[in-house]
């Protein structure tokens, strides 16, 4: 890492609150690096790396991957030249030890807390479909032109194995027990901005830009 501390924005919120969607829009607007620990872990699982093999069982069970593994992965991701210009964290930190490791390494400017009621989350997540190259659809809210096929790439869409109703409940429990204290930690520093995460993605993006 360079001597000048890189600056970053954290997008925090329950699974399915729209962190990934908004991070992509913010990346375009601000030119910051988008670092999604979920995406990095899924890529590691797909490639069958040692990290991927260690993480897979936790991810399949809707549990969190152990802090030491995720922190090491994140430290590598924020030390790239691209991230030195600024970065958006999506899905990290999710636990207090992760927040402490992050605070020791970088300066966080703002934490955007995307708020979506839990009863909307299940429908959002279970209807979510992904393309291998990272485009995200929803069977009802944002369907592809041809069912099951990515508009952009023509690839077959798939459903994440942890996007089932049972897994969603396990992931929301983890959010309550592990991630809410992280939000409180950053509230104590006065850098949390709360954004209503219900509605059209472009409207939500406008709300975020207004508070950044």
Q: Which stretch binds ligand AMP (CB under 6 A): 45-53, 89-97, 103-111, 131-139?
A: 89-97
Q: How far is CA 28 from the centre of its chain?
A: 16
CB of 92 to ligand AMP, least distance (A): 4
CB closer to ligand AMP, 8 vs 15: 15
CB of 24 to ligand AMP, least distance (A): 13
CB closer to ligand AMP, 124 vs 171: 171
The two most distant CA atoms of the chain are separated, in Å, by 50
Active site residues: 19, 94, 128, 160, 171
Q: Which stretch binds ligand AMP (CB under 6 A): 3-11, 23-31, 88-96, 136-144?
A: 88-96
Q: Binding string, 34-73, against ligand AMP, x = CB under 6 A?
A: ---xx--x----------------xx--xxxx----x---
Q: Which stretch binds ligand AMP (CB under 6 A): 46-54, 87-95, 187-195, 196-204?
A: 87-95
Q: Which of 34, 56, 94, 128 binds ligand AMP (CB under 6 A)?
A: 94
Q: Look at the alpha carbons of 8, 76, 44, 50 in this order and tell me if their dihedral is positive or negative.
A: negative
* Rounded Cα gap, residues 33 and 49, in angstroms: 23
Q: For every residue of the chain, which 3-state class applies, written as one string?
A: CCCCCCEEEEEECCCCCCHHHHHHHHHHHHCCEEEEHHHHHHHHHHHCCHHHHHHHHHHHCCCCCCHHHHHHHHHHHCCCHHHHCCEEEECCCCCHHHHHHHHHHCEEEEEEEEECCHHHHHHHHHCEEECCCCCEEECCCECCCCCCECCCCCCECECCCCCCHHHHHHHHHHHHHHHHHHHHHHHHCCCEEEEECCCCHHHHHHHHHHHC
Verify binding: residue 118, ligand AMP, rule CB under 6 A: no
Q: Which of 8, 13, 18, 91 binds ligand AMP (CB under 6 A)?
A: 91
CB closer to ligand AMP, 64 vs 111: 64
CB closer to ligand AMP, 125 vs 208: 125
CB closer to ligand AMP, 86 vs 134: 134
* Rounded Cα gap, residues 130 and 132, in angstroms: 6
The footprint of ligand AMP (CB under 6 A) covers 15, 37-38, 41, 58-59, 62-65, 70, 91-92, 94, 98, 162, 171
């Amino acid at each position: 890492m360079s001597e000048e501390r890189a600056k970053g924005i954290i997008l925090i919120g329950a699974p399915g609150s729209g962190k990934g969607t908004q991070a992509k829009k913010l990346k375009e607007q601000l030119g910051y690096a988008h670092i999604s620990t979920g995406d990095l872990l899924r890529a590691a699982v797909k490639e069958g790396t040692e990290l991927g093999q260690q993480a897979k069982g936790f991810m399949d069970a809707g549990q969190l991957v152990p802090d030491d593994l995720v922190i090491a992965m994140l430290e590598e991701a924020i030390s790239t030249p691209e991230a030195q210009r600024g970065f958006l964290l999506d899905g990290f930190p999710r636990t207090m030890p992760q927040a402490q490791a992050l605070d020791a390494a970088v300066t966080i400017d703002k934490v955007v807390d995307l708020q979506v009621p839990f009863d909307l989350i299940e429908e959002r997540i279970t209807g979510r479909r992904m393309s291998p190259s990272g485009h995200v659809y929803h069977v009802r809210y944002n369907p592809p032109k041809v069912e099951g096929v990515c508009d952009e790439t023509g690839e077959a869409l798939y459903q994440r194995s942890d996007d089932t109703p049972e897994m969603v409940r396990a992931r929301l429990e983890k959010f309550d027990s592990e991630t809410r204290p992280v939000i409180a930690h950053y509230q104590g520093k006065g850098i949390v901005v709360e954004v209503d995460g219900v509605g059209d993605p472009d409207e939500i993006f406008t709300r975020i830009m207004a508070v950044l």
